[in-house]
Structure 1
Amino acid sequence: MLPGGGGEDGKRRDRGASAAYDKDADATTSASAASLNDLCATATGAGTAGAPQPFPRAAAWGVAALLAVGLGVGALVLAAVHSAALLVVAVLLSAAVAAFLLWNAGAAASGRALRRFVDGLPASSLRVAADGQLVKITGFVSCGDISLISSYEKVENCVYTSTLLRKCARWGSMVLNPWNRQSKWKLTHAERFAADFYITDAKSGKRALVKAGHHSKVVPLIDENLLVTTSRDTELSSTLKYWLEERNISSEEAQLIRLEEGYIREGMQLSVIGMLSKKNGDAMILPPPEPLLSGCVLLSCLLPMYFDGIVLRLVDRSYFVPNSGVS
């Protein structure tokens, strides 16, 4: 009870103060919710699904048609003059082009092409970079007005969290062995969130606000740890059961699952690519106004690809434990 009142007047004042407190709490909760950036749509890839592809589909079909014509002509020459040279050349060329396109399609879908581009890009300095320039800033992360807590491990003071739930399936049907290499882990539930945070430039020592919250476009290149892998003989832990119940997922549906989680915690080292804004002496890194094209990675035979938003590339991988999560 608040001081300064008794009887009915005091009770009315208490009720009024409680109502005001509830309104303030609701406003604070709404502000915090508005500060979060729901990135669940980027869970299936590198977050560039809406960007145009570097190799247009019409051009791919055109190349396929030309290769088909070459194979047909080679087959005719083989039948007419019994010389397989042209057919062999056409087959080898078709195989090389198909392998090149498949390699680039896989690299774009997995984010490998963008990772190679980001890793090869030289770091910028907040001291010399100009307003409106596309920059890559590498440094240590600190939380902004709000911080996040990871969904499963409950890691605090995060600026980005990612929790993915996958089910084991093969051609749409459940399989008995989750360790079978032919089994496919299908994403069935995703939780990805980001918030505004600060990054301290390792080159200049200056600090910039990264606008990753408030519905900004963000491309997270963050690896998730494998926390849990279950089989039909696995007894689910109480923590996992509670996590599933909170999301209305039946424990019976969780007999063949993988749970993965990643995060960016305060104090980690991160590379950020975005548009630099300098106003009133304050530096901010904003999403680019339109999708941008990365450069070619010739040594890896990778075509340029588009990225749309602030790119987050984790440099500090001390939390990442590969091949973990056997439960």
Structure 2
Amino acid sequence: MLPGGGGGAGDDRKRRGATTDEEDATSASAASLNDLCAGAGAGAAPPPFPRAAAWAVAALLAVGLGVGALVLAVVRSAALLVVAVLLSAAVAAFLAWNAAAAASGRALRRFVDGLPASSLRVAADGQLVKITGFVSCGDISLISSYEKVENCVYTSTLLRKCATWGSIVLNPWNRCSKWKLTHAERFAADFYITDAKSGKRALVKAGHHSKVVPLIDENLLVTTSRDTELSSTLKYWLDERKLSSEEAQLIRLEEGYIREGMRLSVIGMLSKKNGDAMILPPPEPLSTGCVLLSFLLPTYFDGIVLRLVDRSYFVPNPGVS
């Protein structure tokens, strides 16, 4: 969400050092805000393995199974069929493992955590860098959608509902084994990061339609059951977005953010011009490379990567509300 809170426009301009009138300030804030959900489908990074390659491997394994079955029927030897079945199972497990790692971001997290931190003092212009340090707001700051946490540079609020088959909930015991994402709000803005190695500060261009890859865990704030009475805050939040607020439905609300003062790792292309340092999205998708010990194929990322180091706000086991 855009900043605003309870202060007036004049107070807001004063807090950010703006010198334009109210309309210009509002327009500048809207232009700097980056709606990550709106651009999620554009310029997506390629999958860990091409779909054509997966189909080709599947066809070869099918041929192997067919030949094994034929040998079993003619020669009465199951050795080739057993080999084909075991090989098919191994390949299927390998592909499923890599697909899950790419979808969950596990492969990219391993890459980010294993990459050595760079120094703004010695890194060259145009170099891919990983800068770790403390975050400070830029021209605008964000407020989280549900908890109303102020002075954020990135916010994420996700609403999930229990998957249904027709009008019947899959699990009849007030528990849900599959949650479907039905509403998402992800925003980012330009911010500064102070390099822990050199003490220098760089502007991270995460706003204004930049490509951003957030590796940020959301807190589970609300989980409802059929007999849960929705709080007034949750009802207002749902009604404000014209979302269904029926008492009987099973829903989860999750929220994450990067707030000023948190410790963050940023991966992007370094730009040094006129003595100012900026971290920009890479011009094209980049590969993480193979991780042989973990059986991981190369995965790709397209944009500035944000990896939160400070997890002090994260509550892993919240109660039902």
Same fold (TM > 0.5) = yes
- Tell me how far apart the structure 1 counterparts of residues 42 and 28 of structure 2 sit (CA, whole Å): 28
Per-residue Cα deviation, 1:175-215 (whole angstroms, up to 9, x for no partner): 1444243xx21111111100000111111111110000011
Identity among equivalent positions (%) equals 89
Equivalent in 293, 309, 315 of residue 309 of structure 2? 315
Amino acid at match of 1:217: K
| Structure 2 residue aligned with 1:39 | 36
Matches within 5 A, 1:250-261: 250-252=244-246, 255-261=249-255
Q: How many residues matched?
A: 300
- Tell me how far apart the structure 1 counterparts of residues 60 and 119 of structure 2 sit (CA, whole Å): 48
**Secondary structure of 1:113's partner?**
helix
Amino acid at match of 2:310: D
- Tell me how far apart the structure 1 counterparts of residues 278 and 82 of structure 2 sit (CA, whole Å): 57
Contact 2:229-2:247 within 8 A present in 1 as well: no
- Tell me how far apart the structure 1 counterparts of residues 167 and 127 of structure 2 sit (CA, whole Å): 50
**Secondary structure of 1:312's partner?**
strand
Which runs of 4 or more aligned residues in structure 1 lie more than 4 Å from their structure 2 counterparts after TM superposition? 171-174
Change (3 A) 1:48 1:122: farther
Equivalent in 219, 224, 234 of residue 225 of structure 1? 219
In structure 2, the gaps of 5 or more residues are 1-19
Equivalent in 27, 41, 44 of residue 30 of structure 1? 27
- Tell me how far apart the structure 2 counterparts of residues 208 and 275 of structure 1 sit (CA, whole Å): 12
Change (3 A) 1:81 1:169: same
- Tell me how far apart the structure 2 counterparts of residues 290 and 173 of structure 1 sit (CA, whole Å): 44
Equivalent in 82, 86, 91 of residue 80 of structure 2? 86
In structure 1, the gaps of 5 or more residues are 1-22
| Structure 2 residue aligned with 1:275 | 269
Amino acid at match of 2:21: D
| Structure 2 residue aligned with 1:19 | none
Change (3 A) 1:152 1:254: farther
Per-residue Cα deviation, 1:266-297 (whole angstroms, up to 9, x for no partner): 11111100000001111100001111111222
- 2:318 aligned with 1:324, yes or no? yes
| Structure 1 residue aligned with 2:110 | 116
Change (3 A) 1:48 1:137: farther
Per-residue Cα deviation, 1:237-279 (whole angstroms, up to 9, x for no partner): 1111111121122321773110000000111111100000001
- Tell me how far apart the structure 2 counterparts of residues 92 and 248 of structure 1 sit (CA, whole Å): 51
| Structure 1 residue aligned with 2:257 | 263
| Structure 2 residue aligned with 1:16 | none
Instruction: Report the TM-score when normalising by structure 2.
Output: 0.89
| Structure 2 residue aligned with 1:106 | 100
By how many angstroms is 1:42 displaced?
7.2
Amino acid at match of 2:148: K
- Tell me how far apart the structure 1 counterparts of residues 270 and 77 of structure 2 sit (CA, whole Å): 61
| Structure 2 residue aligned with 1:210 | 204
- Tell me how far apart the structure 2 counterparts of residues 256 and 177 of structure 1 sit (CA, whole Å): 11
- 2:196 aligned with 1:179, yes or no? no
Per-residue Cα deviation, 1:145-182 (whole angstroms, up to 9, x for no partner): 1111101001111000000011111446541444243x
Contact 1:208-1:282 within 8 A present in 2 as well: yes
| Structure 1 residue aligned with 2:129 | 135
Contact 1:292-1:308 within 8 A present in 2 as well: yes
- Tell me how far apart the structure 1 counterparts of residues 197 and 166 of structure 2 sit (CA, whole Å): 50
| Structure 2 residue aligned with 1:162 | 156
| Structure 2 residue aligned with 1:61 | 55
Contact 1:48-1:306 within 8 A present in 2 as well: no
Which has the greater radius of gyration? 1
- Tell me how far apart the structure 2 counterparts of residues 316 and 273 of structure 1 sit (CA, whole Å): 16
- Tell me how far apart the structure 1 counterparts of residues 168 and 120 of structure 2 sit (CA, whole Å): 52
Instruction: Report the TM-score when normalising by structure 1.
Output: 0.87
| Structure 1 residue aligned with 2:279 | 285
Change (3 A) 1:42 1:298: farther
Q: RMSD in angstroms over aligned alpha carbons?
A: 1.8
- Tell me how far apart the structure 1 counterparts of residues 38 and 84 of structure 2 sit (CA, whole Å): 41
The structure in which a higher percent of residues are helix is: 1
